[in-house]
Structure 1
């Protein structure tokens, strides 16, 4: 048995040993508490939506979660094509995915409301309006996303689509007639048809070769996406004051993954979603005039519609929204209710 003289010298060692053990246990507990979320995106790392929405979303969520959250990010269709990501989400192969409703229009017919022409003039207008409809309790959340077992974290509406062409300048309604224009599907097909153009549905990467071959005359496109797909190398004209619809993409999480998360991580993802939604739309609206100037330097000449023609175009396009809503109403889908809600949200 040790004498009392040795006891004081043993205590510091014991305390240090206990402290080290607790530190190891604490580290192990933290490692066990860290939640990994698999995020599948169809966009390439170079796309401005990745740099201004996906990356800020993950960075902010990680920061707010204080080390309890980790993302496994798979961009550029590494886990699947854009049209397949909803299936990956529902199957559990991914926890969060980038869903573009126009590519799965049979599942997201109501979300096409934000793709209708002449409804908003800036990315933030469209983004805020759409976000209000897909948030918890919103009409799109309840009628479209919830039945599919997913909820939206980040909403992105692009700047209103313009028209870029290889040869013919579009400055009057009649100039659209007969043009073979690329669309992303959904309501954009209705827009092209209404103005007398021929809609050609195809993914972005196919635009350049099609315009180069002359099988496509041009595209309905957000100007900031032109360089993403190298369209400035073949396009010669762009009409800068039209609003020919938009394109929506969202980052959605499965209800399965959501319900497994503790409240603090749900809050982190929700706040990060709001942050990324705002970051992206502000970036797009700030960059739009700069992009026009850059494209003109590349040889894509910008023009506005001739006097009176923008008003005539918008009047012609205005009927599309009512036709869209009526067609959905006939299929017992709340098209008119969604259109009314979206217009109200844009006006706020």
Structure 2
């Protein structure tokens, strides 16, 4: 009788241990950001560390930065297939599968990172229109996000003096709505991922790029950049980390709750720190010899008209494809106001 009792206790303990072991998971996180990139420092590492701490070690991570697990353009597919559990996805790199996210990349609608990030996240979580119409059809769920501060135009060697200076320039874009913005000012859009930009600018494959201040420093481009704009909004880029729904559903309810909370905190933390850095970044770029110009007078009218036209055309093009372009544009502007 004692032996049977001991065996039963041992069996129950074994089941409990097996259940505990099965609950502990290690997730592979993959991105294309260079080591030391501000988004990685402000968001990615914080997110991983906080989740591991708050789950008391139930959820751990293996981190693969700098395209170690795959190219930037392939990270959505790699996350969907399970090669990566959590992937860094720039939706404009996969604009054929995530065209709606470009609403936060349209020019002229915001002046700082946090207003755009909070507005975008509101639409991309829970029952938001982006969560339902963009993320869900792709089988992924938003972990955290950052809408970068408004993009400026930077040129390697060709001076930027007024808005007409952009005509004919070959400018790197990340794709999506940014391509339409570049074309509207008579420039030529050259679509490429950010890690390829240093070599392309050095060789003259592109004349310049649309880029935020912080990324100009993170990708070490300030030293080969001669001219840039300040205080403009030529669009932006949305940065996201996503997990497949199938992988998400395998996590414990407690882990999912913590990851959702930390994800929201991470988005807010990243945009706040990014906005705080903007003035310092401008001074650092100036110290590298970059000459800045702020467009005034008639150039302002031209910029306002063209950016408004780009947004309207973007929405109407999606409407024509049966997608909620105009509805989403209105929802994003309403979220910005809130």
Q: Which residue, 65, 74, 98 being the options, matches 1:75?
A: 65
| 8 Å Cα contact 2:32-2:195 kept in structure 1 | no
Question: TM-score with structure 1 length normalisation?
Answer: 0.89
State the shift of 1:108 in Å: 0.4
Q: Which residue, 213, 218, 242 being the options, matches 2:208?
A: 218
State the shift of 1:254 in Å: 1.0
Q: Which residue, 39, 62, 71 being the options, matches 1:49?
A: 39
* Cα deviation digits, residues 55-97 of structure 1 (max 9, x gap): 0111111122122111122111121112212222222222211
Q: What is the match of residue 53 of structure 2?
A: 63
Matched, 1:148 2:130: no
Q: How does 1:1-348 map to 2 (within 5 A)?
A: 30-348=20-338
| 8 Å Cα contact 1:44-1:75 kept in structure 2 | yes
State the shift of 1:241 in Å: 1.3
| Equivalent residues, number | 328
- Over 3 Å counting, the alpha-carbon distance change for 1:215 and 1:87 in structure 2 is closer
- Which structure has the larger Rg over C-alpha atoms? 1
How far apart in 1 are the matches of 2:295 and 2:193?
A: 27
SS at 2:62 equivalent: strand
SS at 1:283 equivalent: helix
How far apart in 2 are the matches of 1:299 and 1:137?
A: 47
* Cα deviation digits, residues 180-237 of structure 1 (max 9, x gap): 1111111110000001111111222332232223332211101111122222122111
Q: What is the match of residue 9 of structure 1?
A: none
How far apart in 1 are the matches of 2:230 and 2:201?
A: 20
How far apart in 1 are the matches of 2:289 and 2:231?
A: 18
Give the CA RMSD over aligned residues: 2.0
SS at 1:97 equivalent: strand
Name structure 2 gaps, 5 residues minimum.
1-8
Question: TM-score with structure 2 length normalisation?
Answer: 0.92
| 8 Å Cα contact 1:131-1:155 kept in structure 2 | yes
Name structure 1 gaps, 5 residues minimum.
1-17
- Over 3 Å counting, the alpha-carbon distance change for 1:98 and 1:205 in structure 2 is closer
| 8 Å Cα contact 1:171-1:309 kept in structure 2 | no
Q: What is the match of residue 4 of structure 2?
A: none
SS at 1:189 equivalent: helix
Of 165-174 and 103-112, the range deviating more from structure 2: 165-174
Moved over 6 A (4+): 23-29
| 8 Å Cα contact 1:170-1:305 kept in structure 2 | no
How far apart in 2 are the matches of 1:48 and 1:236?
A: 23
How far apart in 1 are the matches of 2:72 and 2:201?
A: 23
- Over 3 Å counting, the alpha-carbon distance change for 1:101 and 1:242 in structure 2 is same
SS at 2:218 equivalent: coil
State the shift of 1:171 in Å: 4.1
| 8 Å Cα contact 2:23-2:252 kept in structure 1 | no
* Cα deviation digits, residues 112-139 of structure 1 (max 9, x gap): 1111100111010110111011001000
Q: What is the match of residue 10 of structure 1?
A: none
How far apart in 1 are the matches of 2:224 and 2:171?
A: 14
